[in-house]
Amino acid sequence: MSNYQEIHQQSLNDPEKFWGEAATGIDWITPPTKVLDNDAKPVPRWFAGAELNTCYNCLDRHVENGRGDQNALIYDSPVTGTIKHYTYSELTDKVAKFAGALAAKGVGKGDRVIVYMPMIPEAAIAMLACARIGAIHSVVFGGFAANELATRIDDSQPKAIVSASCGIEPSGVIKYKPLLDKAMDIAKHKVECCIVKARPEQEATLQAGRDYDWEEVSANAEPADCVTVSATDPLYILYTSGTTGQPKGVIRDNGGHAVALNWSMKNIYNVEAGDVYWAASDVGWVVGHSYIVYGPLLKGCTTVMYEGKPVGTPDAGAFWRVIEAHNVKILFTAPTAFRAIKKQDPDANELKKYDISCLQSLFLAGERCDPDTLFWARDTLKIPVVDHWWQTETGWAIAANPMGIEPLEVKPGSPTVAMPGFDVQVLSADGTEMADGEMGDLAIKLPLAPGCLPTLWGNDQRFIDAYLTEHEGYYTTGDAGFKDADGYLWIMSRTDDVINVAGHRLSTGAIEEALSGHKDVAECAVFGVKCGFKGQLPLGLVVLKDGVEREYAELHSELILRVRQQIGPVAAFKMVAITKRLPKTRSGKILRGSMAKIADGDEWVMPATIDNPMIMDEISDTLNGMGYPLDEK
């Protein structure tokens, strides 16, 4: 570990030297003179005073350096039967034109633009176009419902929305425009301009004076030049789930983000310019931002944008086909995608049809990689499989196996070691460091590495309360785990009410809000239960208002539909039962964690603060009635 250890130590001992050197990988308009401003509030800031343009670093500079004819983006869409290649020159032109179209609609530096799009090249083009003119994009995942979209419209107050007529799921065409119209209706903030990419699978009705056709506005646009922005100006806002129903607007700045992602491409993923990199995720998630769009393009790689699923589009050989067809060197996805493939094709018979010798390593993140999935992937692919731990907030890996520095021994179940810039410590509730092997809060000593969030959009106080208050001088990750004697990190659970369903991060609080809005529900609790396929699934318990008598099947359907309509289908909310009472502490806090343990069949102890221990027996009976704990764990 000597090489890694030395580099990690250098990054903590002399962060200015370390990241100052890494910053030379970026083309600056005004190069950084001060690498780290330790006095900035609420947290230290990277590269204050420096200026750049992220889109220039992703596109124009590669064209200027002779990569114009290299593929920048390959769009592979089994759901529409399309494969399209965009060279760096072509992508630069398309982005410049769309940036011009946005500018012509009055979008300028600092304005917000919501991007609500499926996995089509126009999503990346819209993001890069915003970066080009200094506008701040906020991509909202296509699986979110109108209500969630409206919340994000009101929080970010966008000047424009960019969308498409539809997304395509294996289950069929998802019409986006009605969702969008509904969201714009619900939102208090009124959006003046909405640009819609029409897809052949679905027409969209455009409202005169507000809605515009993507092709029309792009065709007539003057290409826009790159605008100079400060390293500390926001590049994007990405909303993520917190404990409450109100999502947190994570801000990513331009300078630190460009430096960190560019550095990560070689040192973590071990790729060079010209290599093909594929993150099979969605632009709606942080993985999509960092490793479908920005990371690979900053480095001069070819990125693959895949509109399909690991299985069902058309079969469990889908990933292998894409790897062979596009000469993919690195695949990055969530463990749940591999569980889906393993479930359908346990002996990997589909793999025999393809030559995937180009694939160098597989990277997994988004949820803990269970050892079974790791072994299956490793035995099947016969290449290194790297679990790495990160969050929307950090934008890149807090812990990983740094394949470009030196591949370290793999310990199944651990995402390996802290990356440079991250001083990860395991703390007890009173802030003392835990001994090796002992569980505690996973906290990162400030400063956070470049690329991590500097605050939440328009809400420094929420940022301070949510992340900086629990352990002074540290960022609280919301994850609990331990460090072993070799310095490996083990991420075991969340400390808040966030759950992870098929790699999608969801707030149980938001689901509870949707349930409690039902006219017959007095109160409710939602918690995550283990699922062998999706990792976790949300389970809801509702208490009905006094005197209400409902037929269960009907109420069940209404509640499921409410969550689907208010949160979205990705919540995969299918389990809800009626119970007489909910277990609470004497101060009224619902004991979700204890109920989750009962459902999972884990050991649990009656909380000392419980108000009425008898309720736990009732809950146990209700959960048994739902089939929990499962026979097979």
**Which residues touch 530 (CB under 8 Å, ≥6 apart)?**
536, 600, 630, 633
In the bound state with ligand COA, the residue whose beta carbon lies nearer, of 18 and 319, is 319
| Residue 281 contact, options ligand COA, ligand AMP, none, Cβ 5-8 Å cut-off depending on partner type | ligand COA
For residue 280, the minimal CB distance to ligand COA (Å) is: 6
Strands 330-333 and 489-494: unpaired
Near ligand AMP in 230-259, by CB under 6 A: 240
In the bound state with ligand AMP, the residue whose beta carbon lies nearer, of 57 and 333, is 333
In the bound state with ligand AMP, the residue whose beta carbon lies nearer, of 302 and 391, is 391
Residue 6: what residue type?
Answer: E
Q: Any contact of residue 266 with ligand AMP (CB under 6 A)? A: no
Q: What distance in Å separates the CA atoms of residue 510 and residue 246, rounded to the nearest whole number? A: 7
Give φ, ψ of 273 to 5 degrees: -55, 140
| Residue 18 contact, options ligand AMP, ligand COA, none, Cβ 5-8 Å cut-off depending on partner type | none
Q: What distance in Å separates the CA atoms of residue 441 and residue 447, rounded to the nearest whole number? A: 17
Contacting residues toward ligand COA, per CB under 6 A: 142-143, 167, 169, 171, 174, 281-282, 285, 287, 309-310, 333-334, 336-337, 340, 365-366, 502-504, 569-570, 572
Instruction: From 270-278, 454-462, 477-485, 525-533, give the range in contact with ligand AMP by CB under 6 A.
Output: 477-485
Find residue 610's DSSP bridge partners: 585
Q: Which of 15, 78, 134, 415 binds ligand AMP (CB under 6 A)?
A: 415
| Residue 177 contact, options ligand COA, ligand AMP, none, Cβ 5-8 Å cut-off depending on partner type | none
With the C-alpha atoms ordered 299, 302, 305, 308, is the resulting torsion angle positive or negative?
negative
For residue 240, the minimal CB distance to ligand AMP (Å) is: 5
| Residue 133 contact, options ligand AMP, ligand COA, none, Cβ 5-8 Å cut-off depending on partner type | none
Q: Any contact of residue 8 with ligand AMP (CB under 6 A)? A: no
**Which residues touch 484 (CB under 8 Å, ≥6 apart)?**
411, 414, 436, 437, 490
Give φ, ψ of 217 to 5 degrees: -70, -30
CA triple 556-598-481, angle to 5 deg: 115
Q: Which of 295, 366, 395, 540 binds ligand AMP (CB under 6 A)?
A: 366
> Would you call 478 helix, strand, or coil by DSSP?
strand
For residue 355, the minimal CB distance to ligand AMP (Å) is: 29
Q: What distance in Å separates the CA atoms of residue 403 and residue 267, rounded to the nearest whole number? A: 6
- H/E stretch holding 623 reads helix 614-625
In the bound state with ligand AMP, the residue whose beta carbon lies nearer, of 242 and 583, is 242
Q: What distance in Å separates the CA atoms of residue 83 and residue 550, rounded to the nearest whole number? A: 51
Residue with tokens 């404990």: 243
Biggest CA pair distance of the chain: 74
Q: Any contact of residue 391 with ligand AMP (CB under 6 A)? A: yes
For residue 180, the minimal CB distance to ligand COA (Å) is: 13
| Residue 334 contact, options ligand COA, ligand AMP, none, Cβ 5-8 Å cut-off depending on partner type | ligand COA
User: Which residue spans within 298-398 are E strands per DSSP?
Assistant: 302-306, 330-333, 361-364, 385-387
Kindly state the DSSP code that residue 570 receives in the 8-state scheme. Answer: G
For residue 442, the minimal CB distance to ligand AMP (Å) is: 9
| Residue 158 contact, options ligand COA, ligand AMP, none, Cβ 5-8 Å cut-off depending on partner type | none
In the bound state with ligand COA, the residue whose beta carbon lies nearer, of 52 and 119, is 119
Residue with tokens 């819609």: 196
For residue 367, the minimal CB distance to ligand AMP (Å) is: 5
For residue 569, the minimal CB distance to ligand AMP (Å) is: 17
In the bound state with ligand COA, the residue whose beta carbon lies nearer, of 235 and 318, is 318
Q: Which of 133, 330, 365, 619 binds ligand AMP (CB under 6 A)?
A: 365
Q: What distance in Å separates the CA atoms of residue 577 and residue 618, rounded to the nearest whole number? A: 12
In the bound state with ligand COA, the residue whose beta carbon lies nearer, of 151 and 232, is 151
Near ligand AMP in 131-190, by CB under 6 A: none
Residue 172: what residue type?
Answer: G
- H/E stretch holding 160 reads strand 160-164
Find residue 237's DSSP bridge partners: 251
Instruction: From 152-160, 186-194, 292-300, 363-371, give the range in contact with ligand AMP by CB under 6 A.
Output: 363-371
Indicate the residue whose CB is closest to ligand COA: 503
User: Which residue spans within 314-390 are E strands per DSSP?
Assistant: 330-333, 361-364, 385-387
Please report, as ranges, the residues that interact with ligand AMP according to CB under 6 A. 240, 286, 365-369, 387-392, 415, 477-479, 491, 494, 500, 505
